[in-house]
Structure 1
Amino acid sequence: MTVANSEAVLKALVEMSLRLGRPERELVILGEGNTSALCDDGTFWVKASGAQLPIIDADGFVHMKLDAVCALADRESLSDDEFKAALEAAKVDPSKSARPSTETVFHALALTEGGARFVGHTHPVAVNALACSVAVPEAIAGRLFPDEIVVCGPAPAYVPYTDPGFPLARAVRHALRGYMARWGRPPKVVFMQNHGLIALGSSPDEVDNITAMFVKTCRILAGTYVFGGPHFLSRAHVERIHTRPDEVYRRRQLRIS
C-alpha cells in the first residue's frame, strides 16, 4: 500500500468521524466514541484516546499494526498496565505520543472477523436509553420495519455489559463469532448493553447509514411501548426482506454491502 493510499483512508476516516460527531445528532459528546478504518497493508487507523469526534483531525488518530492488535484478543488475561504497553508496542510509529483508544482491540476484530473496512462506535442518546433499560434483551429480540433490515441486517449482535478495554474486546469477538455461526455473515450492528453501538461498514457512508437507521429504530422501539409494546415482524418476513432481490439491489444503491 502506498503512503498516498494510507493518507486517503485517513482523510475519509476523519470526514466520517466529524459527521458522527455533529452535536445535533446526539451520537457522542466530549471524548465519547471512537472510529477506525482498514488500510491495505495490514495496518489500520484508530481514534486516539481523549480525541473528540466533533472536532477531530488527522492528528487525532493512531496508526496500528492489525495482526499485533488482533493477537491480544487471544490472551487469557492482561492487566491494565500490560494492556496499555501492548497497545503501545503495536503502533506503526512508536515515536508518536498519541495513545490508541482503549477500544482498539475490538476495532481490529471488527475490521477482520467483522469484515468491515470502516467502523463507528458511538453512544447515541436514543440507543443508550434502550441499552440502559431492564427490557433491553426482549426489546431487541425482533425487527420492526423493512428498512431496519435492509440497512442494519437481520439482527444486531448483542454484548451484555462488559468492562471496556481488553474484556470487552473478547466479549465482542465472542458475539461476532456467535453471529457468524447463526447467520452465516458478520453483523452490521453490535449492540452493547449499558454502553452503545458499533456500526460495521464497507465505507464511511455505510457506517453513517447504519448508525442513523439504528438510532431511528431505537426511537421507534421506545415509541411502541407507549402503545402496548413492539409488534415484531415474523422470522419468515425478516429473512424474506433480507434476501429478496429488489432489497439486495437497494442495498447496493445505498452503498450497503
Structure 2
Amino acid sequence: MTNDTRNQLVELSQNLGRPENDYVILGEGNTSAKIDDRTFWVKASGTHLGSITAAGFVQVYFEPVLEMLNGPDLSDSQIKAALAAAKVDPAAPGHPSVETAFHAACLQLPDVNFVGHTHPTTVNMLTCSVAFETAVQGRLFPDEIVICGIAPLLIPYADPGLPLAREIQRRLLEYVDTYGERPKVALMQNHGLAVLAPTARQVENITAMAVKTARILRGTFDFGGPHFMSAENVARIYTRPDEHYRQNVIGRGQKND
C-alpha cells in the first residue's frame, strides 16, 4: 500500500510538472499523499516535479508536523529541525518541503488523500492582481462547478511555510463551517494553486479545470468582464445527480459525455 501510494504520487507529480502544462518550472510546486492515519509522503525540497522519482519523496509522521502547526511560533532553523525530526526514517535522503505543514493540514480533511500545489502562470495572473478577490467571486460555467466545487478557498498572502500553513488551516475550517464540506481548490494570493482530492487522477483533473477557468476568466475582461452564474444556478448544477455521477466517472479517469 505504501509503495502503491507513492507510485501514484510520482505519476501525479510528473504529470503536473510537464512543461507543456505551464503549471511549474524549476523546483516550483509540491505534492503529497496520505499513507495512513499516521504518515504521509511529501515532496522533498529542491526536487523537480516533472522529473521526480520515488526517491524524491519523504515519508513523514503527521503528529509532530501537526504539533508544530498548532504550537508556538518557531524560527526558520527550528522549523527545519522539526521537519527533519518528523521523518519516519531519519537516515532517509531528502528534507521535507517547507510546505509540509500545509500538506498535513489538508490531508487531515475527510476524503483528501492527495494534494497538488502548483504555480500555473494563468492562475497567478489572477492571484497576483489587484482584482484577485473580486475576479474569482463567482462561478462561470457548469463544468467549473462540477470539477472544482461550489467555490474556491481564498487564502490571503502569508509567508510560505508555517505562517501560510496556519492561515490555510484557519481558512479551511471557516470554509467547512460555511459550506458544510471541504474545498477542492485553494487560490493563494501572490503564490499559486492547491488542489485537494481523494485520488491522484482527480488532482490532475481539478488542476486542469482550474487553469482553464483562469484562462476563460482572463479572456472575459476583453469583453467587459465576467458574467457570473447566479447562486441558484450554481447550487442547481452542484446538486444535480447526473452531474455527481459524471464527476465520479471523471475522477476515476473514465470517458464520459
Q: TM-score range by the shorter chain?
A: over 0.9
Distance 1:174 1:115 in 2: 19
1:205 aligns with 2:201: yes
1:67-146 aligned within 5 A: 67-113=63-109, 115-146=111-142
Residue 14 of structure 1: aligned partner: 10
1:184 aligns with 2:180: yes
Distance 1:76 1:129 in 2: 34
Q: State the shift of 1:41 in Å.
A: 4.9
1:59 aligns with 2:49: no
Deviates more, 1:209-218 or 1:247-256: 247-256
CA contact (8 A) 2:205 2:251 kept: no
Identity %: 55
Aligned pair partner of 1:224 in 211, 220, 223: 220
Distance 2:200 2:10 in 1: 10
Distance 1:246 1:115 in 2: 21
Q: State the shift of 1:73 in Å.
A: 1.3
Aligned pair partner of 1:45 in 37, 41, 48: 41
Question: What secondary structure, in the 3-state scheme, does the structure 1 residue paired with 2:251 have?
Answer: coil
TM-score normalised to structure 2 length: 0.96
CA contact (8 A) 1:70 1:108 kept: yes
Deviation track 1:1-29 (CA, whole Å, cap 9, x = no partner) reads xxxx1011101100110000000000000
Structure 1 unaligned regions, length at least 5: none
Deviation track 1:28-65 (CA, whole Å, cap 9, x = no partner) reads 00000000000125110000000000110011100000
CA contact (8 A) 1:114 1:200 kept: no
How many residue pairs get matched?
252
Distance 1:90 1:54 in 2: 26
Runs ≥4 residues deviating over 4 A: none
Residue 252 of structure 1: aligned partner: 248
Structure 2 unaligned regions, length at least 5: 253-257
Distance 2:143 2:71 in 1: 39
Over the aligned positions, Cα root-mean-square deviation in angstroms equals: 1.0
Distance 2:173 2:2 in 1: 29
Question: What secondary structure, in the 3-state scheme, does the structure 2 residue paired with 1:45 have?
Answer: strand
Q: State the shift of 1:145 in Å.
A: 0.3
Aligned pair partner of 1:25 in 21, 26, 39: 21
Distance 2:221 2:126 in 1: 11
Q: State the shift of 1:115 in Å.
A: 3.9
Residue 191 of structure 2: aligned partner: 195
For 2:87, the aligned partner's letter is K
CA contact (8 A) 2:28 2:118 kept: yes
| Aligned CA distance change for structure 1 residues 114 and 27 (closer, same or farther; 3 Å) | farther
